[in-house]
Structure 1
Amino acid sequence: MEKAILGLDIGGTGIKGGVLVKGHLEDVRSIPTPAKESQEFILETIALFIESYMGYDIAGIGIGIPGLVDVEKGEVLGLANIPAFQHVELARFLQERFAKPVFINNDANCFAIGVHKFGVGKPFKNLVGITLGTGVGAGIVINGHLYSGVNSAAGEWCSAPYLEHNFEHYCSGKFFHHYYDSKPKVLAKRAKAGDPEALKAFEEYGAHLGELIKHILFALAPEAIVLGGSIRKTYPLFEASLKKSLSSFAYPTVLEHVQILLSELDETAIHGAVALVDVEPEIINT
């Protein structure tokens, strides 16, 4: 039987999994997250979900979560949408249960390493991955390696002050909700039909996202910025205003060498979780 790596994406509403075999992701499944249950109940739910994959010869388990993680200990420090999941020694629990190596990190960090190892970020040694959805997350890859920082908090530009709030307020779905009382998907449909208000919404959004990317360029000057998350699908609607915002960046030579790319992976979160696992390289090579 071929060696496989199991990747899990644990979110507030769902737990999604898949196995990587010979560089190909397969058997993607999902179950609801029992977010309001006790810590013990949630742990057992995760364990039973993993158990359902044990027909594969699992070499290791990677997990992405939307919160802070002590990467060295494999401890989940807190999840905003799962109240009982605070200071959970998840890696130790699963290692004792399955006798497999377990690696855990923030989901935005998983996205960054996932697109580097399996997606459009493969040609670049230095990149930043930005997830654009209900919130905004970012992960950093430096010299081909994920940089997580203390408690996996590197790349948390979303919480940096910007205008009257922070970058997440203006660069996520929250922007469309707060200022246009609508969802990005609904506004995108209107914008494609030529609705002036919807077109204005995406023009403003692109300008805000450009300011976020300029902060990233000042800090890291990466070779590529890879956009992921559901809002990336509306990129043609805000591409022009994003690039207009970037055009005022203080160092044009840096701007000339950075590429803005869209992730093409359908299961980026699982790819990223898989990419965390430190096992024999031939298992994860495409």
Structure 2
Amino acid sequence: MTNQVSPYITCVDLGGTKLAIANICNGRIISSKRQPINSTLNAADFNAFLIEQLSPFITESCQGICIGVPGLVETHSGFVIEVLNIPKWHNVALKTLFEKHFKVPTLVHNDANCFTYGIFKHANYQHFDNVVGVTLGTGLGAGLILNNQLYTGKQSAAGEFGSFPYLDGIIEHYCSGQFFKRQGLDGLTTFEQAQAGETKALNLFSELGTHLGSAIVQVVQAFNPDAIVFGGSVAKSAPFFLPNLQQTLKSTLPPSVFSALQVHYTQDANTALFGAYHLFTSEVMTRD
């Protein structure tokens, strides 16, 4: 797959339904692929799947691997503790597995932290001191830039407000693809219906915006960020849910806090991959 000579980093964005891989050289993607995953595989089979998918990307020019995982991880050891949307894949020494098989340094991070760092470094949000990145897809993930630094917490779970109690469940149930799934609907189909102007679909996205606004109020009151940036597959529907989200923020937050807050979204599907690239260059390649 890759014939390039220049050194590169293999970056991986693992989601609840798909896998994205890119070789990145000097901040530019030189080869990539996207692949659906089978989230019901057991740990051994899922590990084998990952190795099979990554193998064509690893050549002698590969300087290392950085993978973003949608769950709890210990970054220093590269240990995957738990991934709710891949329930049988847990307690995995992923860094050890990859380094033994591929013979290159490996960094394991939370996927939302990769996204947030990608926003900060690659999407040029470095003029903000405090940024919250929110990924809306199969589930809801979040990452924090506080005082110009990525803050991850002990198990890369800092900022993960999707698991906060909300109504009869948790925030993630009402503010991600699960919002549609719990009603027997498909998010993509509902998005297409909203684009066509169907009232029911438009109302669903308005409701999603209200739920998400209620959740973001808690985040803003806790961290008082300069900006909130949404990404992920559901974020492409932002024009349909942002009006209600903004109205909820405006009616709930102190006026000075609301007026100072910027709310953005990105449809760049590679943001987390670039975040993984920048995390590897800053955390691994700068070591003595």
- SS state of the match for residue 175, structure 1? helix
Asked if 1:153 corresponds to 2:162, the answer is no
Q: How big is the alpha-carbon RMSD for the aligned residues of Structure 1 and Structure 2? A: 2.5
Please point out which of 44, 68, 74 is paired with 2:72: 68
1:5 alignment counterpart? 9
1:168 alignment counterpart? 172
**1:37-76 counterparts in 2 under 5 A?**
37-55=41-59, 57-76=61-80
Asked if 1:266 corresponds to 2:269, the answer is yes
TM score, norm. by length of structure 2: 0.87
**1:86-105 counterparts in 2 under 5 A?**
86-105=90-109
Structure 2, gaps ≥5 residues long: none
1:136 alignment counterpart? 140
Q: C-alpha separation between the residues in 2 aligned to 1:12 and 1:194? A: 29
Asked if 1:221 corresponds to 2:247, the answer is no
1:230 alignment counterpart? 233
Contact 1:13 1:33 in 2 (8 A): yes
Which sits farther off after the overlay, 119-128 or 138-147? Answer: 119-128
Please point out which of 198, 203, 221 is paired with 2:201: 198
- SS state of the match for residue 151, structure 1? coil
Per the TM alignment, residue 32 of structure 1 is displaced from its structure 2 partner at its CA by 5.0
Question: Which amino acid letter does the alignment assign opposite residue 258 of structure 1?
Answer: L
Say if 1:12 and 1:238 are closer, same or farther in 2 by CA, change over 3 A: closer
Question: Which amino acid letter does the alignment assign opposite residue 201 of structure 2?
Answer: A
Asked if 1:244 corresponds to 2:229, the answer is no
Please point out which of 118, 122, 145 is paired with 1:118: 122
Question: Which amino acid letter does the alignment assign opposite residue 231 of structure 2?
Answer: G
Say if 1:201 and 1:69 are closer, same or farther in 2 by CA, change over 3 A: same
Q: C-alpha separation between the residues in 1 aligned to 2:188 and 2:40? A: 28
Q: C-alpha separation between the residues in 2 aligned to 1:54 and 1:189? A: 38
Per the TM alignment, residue 17 of structure 1 is displaced from its structure 2 partner at its CA by 0.9
Which sits farther off after the overlay, 45-54 or 95-104? Answer: 45-54
Select the structure with the greater relative contact order (CA < 8 A; seq sep ≥ 6): 1
Question: Which amino acid letter does the alignment assign opposite residue 192 of structure 2?
Answer: K
Which runs of at least 4 in structure 1 moved beyond 6 Å after TM superposition?
280-283
Contact 1:140 1:155 in 2 (8 A): yes
TM score, norm. by length of structure 1: 0.88
- SS state of the match for residue 247, structure 1? helix
Say if 1:51 and 1:208 are closer, same or farther in 2 by CA, change over 3 A: same
Post-superposition CA distance 1:24-48 (Å, at most 9, x none): 1221124454655553443344334
Which sits farther off after the overlay, 159-168 or 184-193? Answer: 184-193
Per the TM alignment, residue 213 of structure 1 is displaced from its structure 2 partner at its CA by 1.0
Say if 1:279 and 1:225 are closer, same or farther in 2 by CA, change over 3 A: closer
Contact 1:7 1:18 in 2 (8 A): yes
- SS state of the match for residue 140, structure 1? strand
Q: How many residues align?
A: 282
1:106 alignment counterpart? 110
